[in-house]
């Protein structure tokens, strides 16, 4: 059955228009990213230990009871264990090698500290290495050290390369690199396979990235970077967070998932938007696009959230789609969600434990 000429021409024009818009967007994005990185590379700013000690994780609200530790960190390796009680998340280890991020995403929770100052600052690498040596001795349980909680893990590859090499000197603990950067920042990972390194990319739908991740590398670049390290032999994971219910969100995210499953990630982490008051305050002051806040309908111990039923619908959609694509159920988790959501979905979780970066997530 042939397609009417008028209808065919209309569809062809629509596709050409879409391709032109994407090309123009990518040109603008590359210019913004180049200018942003140039500005941040002028001076590498280092932090002293006193300044580092004063940094509070932007998502720390209330302490979670029932968690004890023989060692409470050294200021560079620190435990995160202050999740609100109603949130089904728990302890993991942060590696505070740097703070800030040059990518300037509109919704970034890092805006909630130091009065919204997102400028990257670093801990001297020799101090980081000494802190790691101590942590390797003091932390008896094999653990993941998340290096992407207070910064982008790949925003300074020369420094991160030295940190990753220190992890290779032992075989109990692993470092997790969480990033939105593309292939240009992964050369050190491809030059030498590091068995104690876990790679994770934060990737969102094309239209979401276009609106609220304007200075970050494109989702395509991130997918390419993730594919390259996966092919090189790394444990490679994907984080899709925050998932925004924009118009036709199912279509946009189904397309994203089709590309992601081809990577064969060892885990996929899902999350929906969270809006702490500090994040919203400093995002406004920075002149960020605040349209991402229009989706909030309720409050929780982790700030404003989408309506419960809407979040549940989103998570169920992702699980169903991934299942239909042959992805293993046990390799999917949801981040910073309530215990009631986990129970409503019928998904198993470990209370008082980080299901994304904690002990249960150490193995692929």
Q: In terms of DSSP H, where are the helices of the chain?
A: 5-41, 49-53, 125-138, 157-167, 187-191, 206-212, 219-232, 249-263, 277-285, 308-324, 339-345
Q: How many domains would you assign to the chain?
A: 1
Which one has a higher pLDDT value, 136 or 16? Answer: 136
Q: Could you give the 3-state DSSP secondary structure of residue 198?
A: strand
Residue 217 belongs to some domain of the structure: yes
Q: pTM of the full predicted structure?
A: 0.86
Residue 146 resides in a domain: yes
Residue 3 belongs to a domain:
no
Average pLDDT over residues 180-194: 98
Q: What is the pLDDT of residue 70?
A: 72
Mean pLDDT on 190-196 = 98
Residue 15 in any domain: the answer is no
313 located within any domain:
yes
Percent of the chain with pLDDT over 70: 81
- Find the CATH number of the domain harbouring 219: 3.80.30.30
Element (H, E) at 146: strand 144-146
Write the CA distances from 196 to 143, 227, 265, 354, integer angstroms: 11, 18, 17, 19
Mean pLDDT lowest for which of 60-69, 190-199, 226-235, 237-246? 60-69
Q: Which domain holds residue 71?
A: 42-361
Is 277 inside a domain boundary? yes
Measured CA to CA, the distance from residue 78 to residue 72 in angstroms comes to: 6
103 CB-near residues (< 8 Å, 6+ apart): 33, 36, 152, 155, 180, 213, 215, 216
Task: Read off the pLDDT band of 39 (50, 70, 90).
Answer: low
Q: Please give the average per-residue pLDDT across 118-141, as a whole number.
A: 96
Q: Is residue 162 part of a domain?
A: yes
**Separation CA 250–CA 243 (nearest Å):** 10
Report d(CA 352, CA 28) in Å as an integer: 43
Residue 256 has pLDDT above 70, yes or no: yes
Q: Count the neighbouring beta carbons within 10 Å of the beta carbon of residue 236.
A: 23
Provide the mean pLDDT of the chain. Answer: 87
67 — pLDDT class (breaks 50, 70, 90):
very low
Three-state DSSP at 338 gives: strand
Q: Is residue 57 part of a domain?
A: yes
pLDDT value at 2 more than 50: no
């Amino acid at each position: 059955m042939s397609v009417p000429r008028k209808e065919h021409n209309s569809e062809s024009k629509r596709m050409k228009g879409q391709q032109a818009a994407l090309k123009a967007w990518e040109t603008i994005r590359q210019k913004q990213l180049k200018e942003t990185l140039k500005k941040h590379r002028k001076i590498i700013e280092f932090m002293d230990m006193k300044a580092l000690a004063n940094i509070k994780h932007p998502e720390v609200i209330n302490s979670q009871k029932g968690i004890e530790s023989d060692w409470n960190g050294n200021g560079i390796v620190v435990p995160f264990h202050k999740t609100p009680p109603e949130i089904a998340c728990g302890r993991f280890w942060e590696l505070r090698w740097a703070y800030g991020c040059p990518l300037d995403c509109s919704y970034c929770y890092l805006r909630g500290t130091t009065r919204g100052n997102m400028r990257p600052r670093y801990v001297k690498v020799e101090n980081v290495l000494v802190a790691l040596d101590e942590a390797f001795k003091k932390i008896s349980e094999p653990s993941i050290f998340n290096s992407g909680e207070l910064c982008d893990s790949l925003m300074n590859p020369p420094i991160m390369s030295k940190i990753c090499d220190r992890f290779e000197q032992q075989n109990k603990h692993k470092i997790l690199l969480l990033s939105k950067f593309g292939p240009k920042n992964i050369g050190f990972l491809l030059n030498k396979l590091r068995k104690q390194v876990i790679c994770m990319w934060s990737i969102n739908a094309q239209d979401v990235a276009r609106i609220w991740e304007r200075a970050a590398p494109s989702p395509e670049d991130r997918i390419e970077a993730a594919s390259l390290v996966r092919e090189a032999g790394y444990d490679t994971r994907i984080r899709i967070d925050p998932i925004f219910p924009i118009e036709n969100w199912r279509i946009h995210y189904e397309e994203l998932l089709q590309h992601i499953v081809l990577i064969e990630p060892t885990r996929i982490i899902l999350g929906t938007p969270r809006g702490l008051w500090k994040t919203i305050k400093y995002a406004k002051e920075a002149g960020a696009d605040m349209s991402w806040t229009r989706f909030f309908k309720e409050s929780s111990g982790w700030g404003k959230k989408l309506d419960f039923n809407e979040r549940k619908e989103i998570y169920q959609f992702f699980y169903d789609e991934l299942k239909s694509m042959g992805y293993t159920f046990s390799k999917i988790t949801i981040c910073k969600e309530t215990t009631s959501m986990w129970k409503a979905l019928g998904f198993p979780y470990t209370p008082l434990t980080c299901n994304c970066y904690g002990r249960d997530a150490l193995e692929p």
